Amino acid sequence: MNYPLFVESDHTTKYKAFRRHYPRELYTKILEFYFNTTNLNLDDSDKKIPCALDVGCGSGQATVDLSHYCHRVIGIDGSENQLKNAPLKENIEYQCQIAENLTFLPSNSIDLVTVAIALHWFNIQTFFEQVDHILKPNGGVLSIWCHETSLDNLKADEILKNLSIYDLRSCWNDKTQIVIENYESIIDKFPYQQTKIKHLIEHEEEMSIDQFVNMIETWSLCQTYRKRYGEEKLKQLLETFTNNLAKCYAESSNDINSNNNNNAISDKKMIVKWTVHLHLMKKQ
């Protein structure tokens, strides 16, 4: 992993505080694929996957979710500060390891490998070779996902797109385009092509404008912007972004008008929408 992001203590603390968890439907699809079944009810099911490896786990958002559906979960990340912020549970083990070297695990020992919005940071070919070494044959599952973010206000959604495509454009690297394209440009590099399937999962959440902007600040693009232009420049960029969002929602609201102060407007609730692109494949 050649991109040392998500490593500074201040950033990893914010990452834990403001990054969101993933929808239950995502885990339903993973378990249904693993157990070769349909219409699985997570609340009623006593089926659990024996051992999962969550690669690039960060501060444990997906790792903790997986712990409800797996007997044992190993979360790995290249950032020690990320792992320090990860919640502890009896059936979770965290290790500071990189995706390109999974030799600390026995061959054919893992039932499920998950990668939550991290694949684009890896040396993909090397990672897939490592996965093939540690994933159990005859049914071991590799699960990879990323997501798109949109807003319920058309003008606000355009401002969000402009932030990523224009305002932060100078901070793009060769990995950025891969995730913006939802991994479509590297689909042919995925292993186990004969078993591969894809799900699109729609998910939405009510958040305040401030909560949403705090989440945006955890983006790697914002971290790169901070390093390149300084803390004050990033603060100014996000303040402008916040004010522009507030104006959009003020214009579309009957109870908030443009004369309100920004603090009141930034507390306004908004609907944030995610489309999760979930790729599932099995080792035969």
> At residue 11, does pLDDT exceed 70?
no
Angle in degrees, 0-180, between the axes of helices 231-251 and 220-229, rounded to the nearest 10: 130
Query: What is the pLDDT at residue 264?
Result: 59
Which two three-digit tokens encode residue 236?
Answer: 């100014």
pLDDT reported for residue 267:
72
Reply yes or no on whether the pLDDT at 2 is more than 50: no
pLDDT digits (tens, 9 = 90+) for 85-126: 899 999 999 999 999 999 999 999 999 999 999 999 999 999
Tens-digit pLDDT profile for residues 130-189: 999 999 999 999 999 999 999 999 999 999 999 999 999 999 988 888 999 999 999 999
Question: Coil, strand or helix: which one is 240?
Answer: helix
What's the domain range around 135? 9-282
User: Taking Cα atoms as reference points, which of 181, 58, 62, 183 lies closest to residue 119?
Assistant: 183
* Token digits of residue 214: 């705090």
Q: What distance in Å separates the CA atoms of residue 143 and residue 33, rounded to the nearest whole number?
A: 10
| Phi, psi angles (nearest 5°) of residue 105 | -105, 145
Structure-block tokens of residue 266: 């930034």
Report yes or no on 3 lying in a domain.
Answer: no
Beta bridge partners of residue 95, listed in sequence order:
76
Per-residue pLDDT tens over the stretch 41-52: 888 888 999 999
**Given a cut of 70, is residue 16 above it in pLDDT?**
no
- Please check whether residue 56 lies inside any domain of the structure: yes
What local confidence, expressed as pLDDT, does residue 278 receive? 98
In a domain, 1, yes or no: no
Banded model confidence at residue 34, pLDDT cuts 50, 70, 90: very high
Torsion angle defined by CA atoms of residues 162, 242, 24 and 135, in that order, rounded to the nearest 10 degrees: 60
- Are 89 and 64 in contact, with CB atoms under 8 Å apart? yes
Provide the number of structural domains found in the chain.
1
In a domain, 175, yes or no: yes
Cβ atoms of 267 and 213 within 8 Å: the answer is no
State the pLDDT confidence band at 259, using cuts at 50, 70 and 90. very low
- If one compares 16 and 203, the residue with the highest pLDDT of the two is 203
Q: What tokens appear for 208 in the block?
A: 């305040």
Q: Residue 92 belongs to a domain with what CATH number?
A: 3.40.50.150
Residue 248 has pLDDT above 60, yes or no: yes
